[in-house]
Structure 1
Amino acid sequence: MRLFVFGASGGLGARLLDQALGSGHRVTAVARTPESIPGHARLTILSGNVLEPHGWRRVLAGHDAVLSCLGSADRRPTTVYSQGMTGIIAAMRDSGVRRLTCVTSASLSLPPTAPLSRRLLIGGVVRPLYRHLYTDMTKMEDIVTTSDLDWTIVRPPKLTDGELTREYRTAANQHLPRPRTLSRADLAHYMLNHLDDQTSWRSTIEISR
């Protein structure tokens, strides 16, 4: 497949690139720090910003799928998720690319059965601390789910730098019982290996070890 990846220089993006190239895919990667990405014969690296589509949108045509690994740990107000996804979807429509996979967070929605300790941690500490990030993530999910694309939103729990295990649980359009942690390598594995899985299209997937 020909894949178009945003956030390729981040922790998740690096693992996604490594697995995609190792599986024989051709990849176009957009990154603000392209010098941090090792070269490869099947990899095209674009220096760019998701918020500035003029730098990459004309290259999008001919790709089979877009994968967004965008992320931020900034506590300040941000539009990188919502504004970035608005530009991505507009470019995909113009280019005829329909398959989209993006990442948000399992903490956006907690089940009523979540343990009290988790509800206190997420609701009392994490969400208030990163309220701007979660607000923009929620906006991005709304933008994606109201689009006419073949989209998948993946909601992982806390991510780690652990090894690739290929052992994880998923739940489509419902909460996953007892979420723990997940390695970025395993998240990348799911994203890559379910691009053709039509049961995951137009679905929000929770994932965890």
Structure 2
Amino acid sequence: MKITVFGATGGIGRHLVDQAVAAGHEVTAVARQPGRLAGVPVRVVAADLATADPATLRAAVAGADAVLSGLGPRSAVDAGIAARGTGAIVEAMRESGVRRIVVVSAAPVGVVPSPGRPHPPKRDPGDGPLMRFVLGPAIRRVLRRHYADLALMEEILRDSGLDWTVVRPPRLTDKPLTGAYRTAYGRNVRGGLTVSRADVAQLMLHSLDQPESVGRTVGVAN
């Protein structure tokens, strides 16, 4: 399969690249710092999704069977990058005739409002009391700009007409790949507080072979 990975040098993006290459896929890796992929057997495209040239993005996705995006804000300075970057990716995909995209979001986003979804559910059906009443509100308060960005990104995908899947992990860790993560469609995983970046990447890759995941959000946790 021909796969284009955006955010290819990020925490999840690098796992996506390495796992896709190991699985024998033909990978195009899009990154702000392409030098960090030196020696990796992929086609590298240098692009900053905040200011990327549309022609560069079209060239990056042209001929791909699917797009995987690990794009997301790493700090307050990056707030807004997920929505802006995903909007640019969606436009490039439409113009290039590529339909399948899997992106990473975050577990709390299901209850975060966006312009087209101003009144989301007050509680995620997968969250237990600790997450609903203690951890969730505190996390959303501290990271409200990040989650607002991701909520808008999800809205862009819902309106895109593409075959999208959104993966929503809780707190990310750098623990090794286990393959033993739990998943749930349309809700968070009950009692799931953490998941490794490597496991998230594996789920995103596996989602490409799961047509039932198209047009749906997927909760994941170890």
Same fold (TM over 0.5): yes
Query: What's the TM-score once normalised by structure 1's chain length?
Result: 0.92
CA distance in 1, matches of 2:198, 2:185: 20
Question: Which residue matches 2:13?
Answer: 13
Q: Contact (CA 8 Å) 2:188, 2:220: kept in 1 or not?
A: no
Alignment gaps of 5+ in structure 2: 111-122
State, as a whole percentage, how many aligned pairs show the same letter.
42
TM-score where L is the length of structure 2: 0.87
Partner of residue 96, structure 2? 95
Partner of 1:194: 207
Specify the SS of the correspondent of 1:132.
Answer: helix
1:123-162 aligned within 5 A: 123-124=137-138, 126-162=139-175
Q: Which runs of 5+ in 1 are unaligned?
A: none
How far apart are the structure 1 equivalents of 2:32 and 2:140?
A: 27
Cα offset for 1:76?
4.6
1:37 corresponds to? 37
Aligned pairs, number: 207
2:170 touches 2:221 (CA, 8 Å); kept in 1? yes
Superposed, 1:31-110 pairs within 5 Å as 31-41=31-41, 43-51=42-50, 52=52, 53-76=54-77, 78-109=79-110, 110=123
User: What is the identity, as a one-letter code, of the residue corresponding to 1:3?
Assistant: I
- Residues in 2 aligned to 1:21 and 1:206: alpha-carbon distance in whole angstroms: 25
Q: Is the 8 A contact 1:4 1:67 kept in 2?
A: yes
Residues 65 and 98 in structure 1, CA contact (< 8 A), matched pair in contact too: yes
Whole-angstrom CA distance in 2 between matches of 1:73 and 1:96: 30
Measure how far apart 1:83 and its partner are: 1.2
Deviates more, 1:175-184 or 1:17-26: 175-184
CA RMSD of aligned residues (A): 1.7
How far apart are the structure 2 equivalents of 1:20 and 1:206? 21
